[in-house]
């Protein structure tokens, strides 16, 4: 499991560890990890050029001490100090190692010329962003924005987080660093997983510095976690004991939604799939193993149901089993009719659908997806799976999982229908709603990546590759 902690949790753990270590030892651990990550990115040290952008916080100190280590490895290092309060020990360490120092404070920086004066005689190979630490809030200062604009096109390595993003929310309030690599320490922070900030982090490398941390409020399943959660048939299993999932999807107008929802449900994780709806004929032609109405352990409702959505939702909820509510059916669900009366719901909106559910603009959802996914889960008393580049799965208590599998090619019509069917299958197989939704999101993204192989895909390709992904996980 990849855990992401809050700033307060990290600071408390750091304080406890520093009380047991010599002064400065924790920063040296972080700086060493940062320096070696930069050397790996550079492909070596001698003759390379690195520019440090240094603010007043401890991440500026990390950058300076890392710069000193790089300078001792033959890297030409220069630090631009954006504050009069730069870490004194780090400044002195870099100076002793032969690095250059340009003090700025609140003064205007000299412009960056093509040969990159002052200091370095050529443009740097890499810029290290140590401007703002994990506790920073609000917009970057104008001088920092100006410098970043001048450095456009040079790869940036962010210390802990790209400057200008919010650590605990994943939000971005204005201009910010776009990193090629982010080197973080002790644990992931929420912004490393949650968009839009996660998009600014580039590749994230975690350096272990020995922190003892409490349970994290945000986490991300890894392949081993998914393999552990997958249902497996017992030696005496039969089709009913493995679970039966029902699908109420599609309509005369949208028969394809039924086919795709059933394809996700019929991935082999349950013993039987039932279909109820007006697209029964095409479903049975493509899925002869699918049967009609009867008892189920979970329902999937909503994709392409058009004007039939309200009736399908009412009938599914009446069975008192877990229900995946998607697409058209979401409009017929309200906080008053969901939580207490119908436990076991999984709601699977995209940003536009969640905006309607919460009565806010879609732009608000996309700017603060973590906040709104949590708000919807609390309001509806249900697990909410908010689809996106990094899909969020939120519980009513605020605990969140972030799915990081997938490919941009996954943004294709019908992909969500396959996902809904897969969530329903895992519910019917016995997983709890939170586990079912987060496991399904991981599998869905992994199958899309396998189907894509770097190129475009259709929704049915995702369903086709699910069994291969499952087989690889079950084999260990």
The Cα 425–Cα 317 span in angstroms is: 17
What's residue 111's pLDDT? 38
Query: Which element (helix H / strand E) includes 2?
Result: strand 2-5
The Cα 382–Cα 422 span in angstroms is: 18
The Cα 314–Cα 332 span in angstroms is: 9
Distance (Å) of CA 232 to CA 98, 242, 270, 315:
61, 8, 9, 30
Give the SS3 label for residue 95.
helix
Other beta carbons within 10 angstroms of residue 27's beta carbon come to 24
Please answer whether residues 120 and 76 qualify as being in contact, where contact means their C-beta atoms are separated by less than 8 angstroms: yes
Query: Which element (helix H / strand E) includes 452?
Result: helix 433-452
The full 3-state SS of 289-358, as one line of letters, equals CCECCCCCCEEEECCCCHHHHHHHHHHHHHCCCCEEECHHHHHHCCHHHHCCCCCCEEECCCHHHHHHHH
Q: Name 3's bridge partners.
A: 219
What's residue 67's pLDDT? 98
What's residue 119's pLDDT? 44
Strands lying side by side in the sheet with 400-402: 188-189, 2-5, 218-220, 400-402, 392-394, 383-386, 345-347, 323-325, 298-301, 244-248, 272-275
What's residue 118's pLDDT? 42
Angle of helix 459-475 relative to helix 415-428, nearest 10 degrees, comes to 40
Please answer whether residues 286 and 255 qualify as being in contact, where contact means their C-beta atoms are separated by less than 8 angstroms: no
What's residue 104's pLDDT? 66
What's residue 334's pLDDT? 86
What's residue 103's pLDDT? 80
What's residue 337's pLDDT? 67
Within 13 A of 103's CA, how many CA atoms are on the CB side? 8
**pTM for the full predicted model:** 0.93
pLDDT digit string (tens) for the chain, length 476 residues: 999 999 999 999 999 999 999 999 999 999 999 999 999 999 998 989 999 999 988 999 999 999 999 999 999 999 999 988 899 999 999 999 999 998 864 343 343 334 434 445 578 999 999 999 888 877 788 889 999 998 999 999 999 999 999 999 999 989 999 999 999 999 999 999 999 999 999 999 999 999 999 999 999 999 999 999 999 999 999 999 999 999 999 999 999 999 999 999 999 999 999 999 999 999 999 999 999 999 999 999 999 999 999 999 999 999 999 999 999 999 999 887 665 568 899 999 999 999 999 999 999 999 999 999 999 999 999 999 999 999 999 999 999 999 999 999 999 999 999 999 999 999 999 999 999 999 999 999 999 999 999 999 999 999 999 999 999 999 98
Pairing relation of β-strands 218-220 and 2-5? antiparallel
**What is the maximal distance between C-alpha atoms in the chain?**
78
Domains and CATH numbers, the chain: 2-217 (3.40.50.10260), 223-475 (3.40.1190.20)
What's residue 114's pLDDT? 40
């Amino acid at each position: 499991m990849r855990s992401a902690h809050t700033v307060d949790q990290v600071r408390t753990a750091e304080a406890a560890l520093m009380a047991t270590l010599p002064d400065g030892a924790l920063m040296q651990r972080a700086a060493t990890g940062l320096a070696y990550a930069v050397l790996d990115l550079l492909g070596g040290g001698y003759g390379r050029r690195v520019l440090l952008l240094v603010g007043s916080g401890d991440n500026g100190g990390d950058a300076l001490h890392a710069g000193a280590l790089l300078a001792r490895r033959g890297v030409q290092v220069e630090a631009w100090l954006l504050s009069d309060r730069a870490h004194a020990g780090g400044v002195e360490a870099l100076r002793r190692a032969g690095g250059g120092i340009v003090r700025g404070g609140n003064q205007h920086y000299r412009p960056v010329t093509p040969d990159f004066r002052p200091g370095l005689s050529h443009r740097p190979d890499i810029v290290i962003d140590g401007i703002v630490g994990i506790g920073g809030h609000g917009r970057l200062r104008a001088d920092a924005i100006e410098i970043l604009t001048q450095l456009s096109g040079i790869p940036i390595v962010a210390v802990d987080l790209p400057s200008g993003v919010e650590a605990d929310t994943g939000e971005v309030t204005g201009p910010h660093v776009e990193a090629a690599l982010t080197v973080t320490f002790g644990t992931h922070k929420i912004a490393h997983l949650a968009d839009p900030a996660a998009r600014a982090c580039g590749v994230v490398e975690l350096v272990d510095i020995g922190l003892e941390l409490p349970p994290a409020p945000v986490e991300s399943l890894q392949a081993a976690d998914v393999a552990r959660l997958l249902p497996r048939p017992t030696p005496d299993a039969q089709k009913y004991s493995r679970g039966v999932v029902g699908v109420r999807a599609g309509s005369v107008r949208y028969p394809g939604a039924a086919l795709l929802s059933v394809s996700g449900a019929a991935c082999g994780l349950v013993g039987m799939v039932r279909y109820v709806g007006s697209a029964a004929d095409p479903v049975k032609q493509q899925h002869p193993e699918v049967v009609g109405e009867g008892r189920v352990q979970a329902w999937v409702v909503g994709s392409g149901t058009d004007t039939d959505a309200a009736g399908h939702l009412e009938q599914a909820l009446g069975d008192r089993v877990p229900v995946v509510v998607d697409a058209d059916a979401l409009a017929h669900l309200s906080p008053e009719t969901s939580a207490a009366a119908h436990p076991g719901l999984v709601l699977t909106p995209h940003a536009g659908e969640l905006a309607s559910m919460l009565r806010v603009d879609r732009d608000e959802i996309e700017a603060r997806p973590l906040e709104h996914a949590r708000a919807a889960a609390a309001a509806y008393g249900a697990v909410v799976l908010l689809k996106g580049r990094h899909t969020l799965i939120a519980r009513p208590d605020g605990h969140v999982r972030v799915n990081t599998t997938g490919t941009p090619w996954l943004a294709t019509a019908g992909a969500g229908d396959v996902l809904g069917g897969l969530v329903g299958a895992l519910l019917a197989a016995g997983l709890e709603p939170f586990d079912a939704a987060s496991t399904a999101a991981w599998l869905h993204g992994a199958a899309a990546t396998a189907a894509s192989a770097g190129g475009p895909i259709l929704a049915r390709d995702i369903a086709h590759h699910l069994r291969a992904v499952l087989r690889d996980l079950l084999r260990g």
